[in-house]
Structure formats: structure tokens, C-alpha cells
Structure 1
Amino acid sequence: MLTRRSMMLASIAAGVTMNSSNAFSKAAQPATAVNFDVPPGACDCHTHIHGDPEKFPFYAGRVYTPELASPEEMSALHKALKIERVVIVTPSIYGPDNSSTLFGMTARGATARGVAVIDDKTSESELDAMQKAGFRGIRLNLATGGVNDPNVGRQRFSAAVERMKARGWHVQLFTSLAMITAIKELVAASPVPVVFDHFGGAEAALGVGQPGFADLVELVKSGKAYVKVSGAYRASKRGPDYEDAAPLAQALIAANAERIVWGTDWPHPDSVTPAGKKISDVTPLFQIDDGRLLNQLAVWAPDAAVRKRILVDNPARLYGFA
């Protein structure tokens, strides 16, 4: 278990300065052992690093401020889960600054890949450098930013695809089923892979018949989109096992297991600043048992060969692991 002392020493070794007791991360670690054989080369396809804000300043336009989460804590998480590879995604709190993600990737080495956030000011030379460092896609976060206008979503998605098509990176979207329906034909025609975060924004309580879910399933079935069966606690409120998310996961896997990847969404940020709090006030991380979360994959995909596709083969293809 990481102690305050071990974390401080690791941070000093990494060149990170933490200024007060409030700066120490409280990211969750697994409390439950994994109950199936995790195949070699398994990948957690959705994580974030929240670095020391003195070194990695938060974006002025963010909508929440999380507790910190270090590369050392992430490594401890994956050691417990027997996960070898990781994809680190730049969260909205950094805007188009990918430094904290790169910090985490560098700490992890060859077993890490990154997904960046960019804007119009991001140059091709910067993208070249990111590609060399292991970035393989860009993320459009339409959910946290509250983008609900289909016209805005279509424009942003089209611009992202145009930017990425020569490079061959994928475009990842955190959005809603309604937006997926609105951009469905654009996704189907995309020359680059498209990846939807967190069950495509589906709500477990509404089941597989909810509006837009059939469009998501169709895109997966046709091979035109990947879906991350990640952050089940975002789709479901029925913890700790999120049983009502199972029909969503099973429908997506049945549609096309070669287009499904899995992720924790560690360190589980709460992207909603509580009423009465300022955006600059620290919002605690969700305390999710990732061992229990990973065990649900064996419920969703009882066949070990299918789990290997989800955990190993699909991420290797999508993110370019050797």
C-alpha cells in the first residue's frame, strides 16, 4: 500500500513537488481480488493522471478541480489488477495541455499510450512529437463541456477527423447517445477509427431500448466504431457491481467483440462541482473498487477468448502496441 511517505519519496524522485497535505492524492486502490485469469498484455484503455498543479497547471476554463492522482498510484492499481498496458487520456481539467498525460506515459514507458486533447493552435510539429511519444488519438469531450447542439458536435467531429486522417490517429468522443445519433452517418464514413467513451453515454437504468442505443450498436456491428465498456459507475447507479450495466455491455460485445475495449476510468473523477462550491474547490474522487469493476467483465464476457480480444487484441490494434 502506498503511504504518505512512499508517495512523497516517489514524487520527489519524479521531480514533483507537493506543497501541503491537501495536495496528496486519495485515488482508490482495488479492495477486491480479480477472480479470473487476466491474459498477458491486458490493457486498461481509460485512465487519467492528475499531476501537481504547480507543475501541471489546471485549465482556467475547467468545470471542476479533482484531487491528485500520480503515476505511482496508477502503477500500484495495475499491479493489483494484473494489467500490463495502459492508455492515459488527457482530462478536461487541462484543456489542450497534454503535459500531465505525457508525464504519466513517460513514467510507465513502452507499456503506455496516450490520447490527447488539441485545439486550433496545436501545430503539426507538436502532433509529430506526441506521436513519437506514444499518443495515438485525440479526444473530443462534448459531455463535460455540455455540448448538446448537434450542429456543434458535427462540426467539431468533422474537423477532428479531417485533422487526423493523414496521421491515422483515432478520434475518441465522450458524449451522449443523442449526439451519436446526430453524427451517425459521419462516423460511418470516417476514414479514421472512432472510439466512444463509457458505453457511449448510455444509461443503464433505461436498458437496451433507450433512444440512440440501437444506433451505437449498429456502428459497432458494422465495425465503424469502438466502444469502451469503461466507467460502469457512470452508466449505472447500482453499485458496487452495476448489474444493470450488464445488458448494455453484453449487447455491445454480442454486436462485435472486435470493437470493444475495457477501461477503469481511474482515478474516477467527479466532474460536477457541487452546488455552493467554486470550480477551484477540490472535488473528491469517487472511491471505486476497480477489482470488483474488472470482475464484471467476466460476467459480461464469460468466454476467455472473448475477454482476450477485449483486453489484449483490440487495444493492441487500436493503440499500436507491439
Structure 2
Amino acid sequence: MPELPEVETVRDGLDRLVTGAVVQDVEVFRDYSVRRHEGGPTGFADQLRGRRLAGAARRGKYLWLPLTDPAAAGEPAAALLAHLGMSGQLLVRDPAVAGEWAHPHLRVRIHLDEAPSGAHHLDFVDQRTFGHLSVTDLAPTSDGAPGGHGSPLAAVPEPVAHIGRDLLDPALDRDALVERVRRRRTGIKRALLDQTVVSGVGNIYADEALWRARVHYARATDTMTRPVVRRVLDAATEVMAEALTQGGTSFDALYVNVNGESGYFSRALAVYGRLGEACPRCGTPVRRDEFMNRSSYTCPRCQPRPRHGRW
């Protein structure tokens, strides 16, 4: 599933390539891809048609494009909201260059006009169909700070209002986040994956951050000191920032940026997906455990399991 670095890579591409474009028309090829939009496919298309894409913003794994009326003044009051799910892709295409070929898993095509990049199509492609698009109202942020990276507006799409700020958000109160983590009675990895606590961290980067911080995923948050929690959060910030420089992590064709190119951070992963391989730090074979219907990868020596989940 795309995590913060992958979604930020897509957001950056959208911001550069489609900001200022006007939606000319919308084709919905799979109704399920707009299931969160109350008006269904027809209402979705009607609310987009004629609107200008005023930028691209992101909070955690959610991204949105604020919408304005080209004939009216004022700040955006609504946005095109996207959640990529497990395999969603937003691809910017210029048929004059790329031809009229359509992706076999094309779910929604947004026809554009006036895009500075010359792009004519914004395609939503989703093989596994867990992703979705919707047009939603913007709501004021509870702290008065910008809603997400890439937008100066103190507003966020209503369905995203409960999502916590992410570790790369300049408006994040890190001291408050440390206390929020320590108040929870759960394992540290569960806390990292809870998008209401801190957004954008998924299974891959949680494992990598915990390995860097030398903390086992089952360690109980309410027994962790402030410095240890901060060390984990700093490690997660570092690993995601490094992934961003390489365009995110790709294991197959399911994650690509807006140009259809894959990221390369998978080559730098220390433990995730490396069962039995030597830990880069101590040489101990990497261990895999089942975790929340997924996997957790650890170094048994660098990250010894706490007794009863507590140290």
C-alpha cells in the first residue's frame, strides 16, 4: 500500500503538472471507484466539470486537489479527494505524446483543459479497487494551521478531519505527539499505524523505523520513556525523508508516480521483506512474525522482544 513518501511523490507531480487546469469532462468506468461520493458517478462528474484544480495537498496517505470556480473569486470550498488504497495510481497523460492507449485498470478519466504542462488526461488507475475518489467540502482545521503539505489553506476535506498530522508536516506538535503515543496502551507499531495518532506511516516504514531505533514492535507504549518514543518518531521521519528522495518504495508495478515511473527505495530497506537475510548492523538473520494479518520484520539481536510486551 502506498505510504507517505509514495503519496507525497504523487502529490508533487500533480502540483507541478495539473495546477491551474480546468476540468472539461469526466468519465467514470467503474462506479465503485467513486463509492464515497454521495451523488454517485453522475454527481461526481457534475461537481467536477468546469472547476479549476487549484493545487495539490496531502495529509498522511490522503491527497486532495482544491477546486475553484474560474468565474468566481474566493478561496476553495471543496476538493477532489483521493485515497490510493493498495494499488491506486493517478497518472497525468498527454495523448499527443503518449497516444490514446488506455490502462487496462483505468477506473476514472478526468479530461483537462488549460493545464500548464499540456496534460489532457488525469487518469485514476486501480487494479485492486480499494482506492477511491470523491468531491467533498473543505472544513476548517481544529488548530488553525494549514490543512496539509502543499496548501496554505487552514482547511482539510471533511472525511480527513479525524486523521492526525504526519511526521513531515511543519505544523505537527511533536511534543504533544510524544505524549499522545505514551498515553496509549498498545504496542508501538500499532500506535505508528494508527492514522488518528500520526498519519502516513504504514507497515514498511514502521518496520524500518523500529529497526533504526532498536525497538521491538511489541514494546508497550505506556512503558516507553519520552526519549525512546522520540527516537522512534525521529527514525520514522528520517526513513520517510530518505524514501522521498528516491521517489518512494516499489516492489512491483502497483506503485508508480504520475509519469508511470517506479520508486527505488526498496533497494535500501534494512529489514522489511528480507526474511533470513543478514541484518545490516549486526549480521543476525532477519525474522518475520505475523502481525495484524500482515508481517513484521525485525532483527532478533538489535530488537529483542520485550517480556509480555513490556520493558
TM-score (ref. length: structure 1): 0.30
- Structure having the larger proportion of residues in strand: 2
Higher RCO (C-alpha 8 Å, min separation 6)? 1
TM-score under structure 2 normalisation? 0.31
Structure showing greater radius of gyration is: 2
